[in-house]
Structure 1
Amino acid sequence: MDSIYKSIIEALIFASDEPIAANDIIKVIKEIDGQDIEITIDDIEATINELNLKYQNNENSFNILKIAEGYVFGTKQEYAKYLGYLTTEKNKRRLSQAALETLAIIAYKQPITKPEIESIRGVNSDYMINTLLEKNLITIKGRSETVGRPLLYVTTKEFLKYFGLNTINDLPKPREIEEIMKDEDFLEQKRKIMMNGIEESLETEIEDETESGNEDTLE
């Protein structure tokens, strides 16, 4: 493939806010340079492989990933713990433990109904399901054929993007999750996150006490 198209493909992936599919890349190129341009999905994939090889040889900290059936730039795995720490500090979309638990059940058991989710969790899940729906991490996909025909819930493409997965089949297996839970880096990050949560709670309590004291003084 002409080197100019390699740069164009790289630029399109870099500039895209969302994972961009190979077909969309082809569509853009044909719209600009003409429908007679011969470029296929295989050409796109081969170009991306070449670009990733170049990034590897240059020891770049990033490469092109295939996520949610599209392509996006991402940092390499060896930098995950550093970026993970930064994300936990700043990410306002952080899910609660209860929301993650509900989401995990849906991801591994989908399609699944609310009664089935609650049977596994042992508690009412209305609020957690509504939260996940609002964040577009799950969606409704029809109704079950069981009594009452309850709604069925499945994960979305936003779920794949949120967790950096290409397809739902990329979810870690239960055995892999057990290994992650025992990993020292994971345990260290978990400890830091818990400490940050405690510090935030203490700050809130101090602020509340200060405000209460000010009110008493005013009275």
Structure 2
Amino acid sequence: MSDEQPAPDAEAVPGADAAVEAVAEAVPDADAAVEAVAEEQIAFDVNDFPGGARGAIEAVLMVVDEPVTEMALASALELPVDDVRAHLEGLEAEYAAQQRGFTLRSVAGGWRVYSRSDYAPVVEKFLLDGQQAKLTQASLETLAVIAYRQPISRSRVSAVRGVNVDGVVRTLVNRGLIEELGTETEGGAVLYGTTAYFLQRLGLGSLDDLPALAPYLPEIDVLDEIAEQGRG
């Protein structure tokens, strides 16, 4: 004989429907309340900032990993797209006039801060210092994921490895082991793949000569599933 008892019928409980309605009326709509609080917390006027709209645009550009579109900036800053474009072009002109070590460039449908080409020798020397050091375990794991899943974006590599790989990807690019292969159709994220130098270092004629993946990493469909979960 089962110890479970059937749930009482709502009609058998006097006033059940009335009690539920009373509670529902007493509790405000949670979603609406959350949205109202969020809107209140992030409400601002870019003109109130010390640097105005241009300062706000600079602040956003300092934290993005991929080129950001004019539309995205306009939406975030609540400005017309034409105004955002004018500010971006103005910033680019200011940096050039001031001979700053960085500049703004419009690439892949968006804008991003880059080091100015005039300073390439300095940047190259800085990046090449310690170039002969061995790759870390994190670099090797990231390189393996890119080699077998290319072309692949940094976000998908991060999803597979379970950690942020921005710094590691920059190291691999600087060492000439991986390179940009284009951008995703949706989202515009930069896609990475291995270089000819990578094949040379491993003594491979082509990517077809890479060892079979199965003995060392999860199956391809498992990697895809992990990556999709990481994006969700």
State if a TM-score over 0.5 links the two structures: no
TM-score (norm 1): 0.38
Question: Whose relative contact order is higher, 1 or 2, with alpha carbons under 8 Å and at least 6 apart?
Answer: 1
Structure ID, larger Rg? 2
Higher helix share: 1
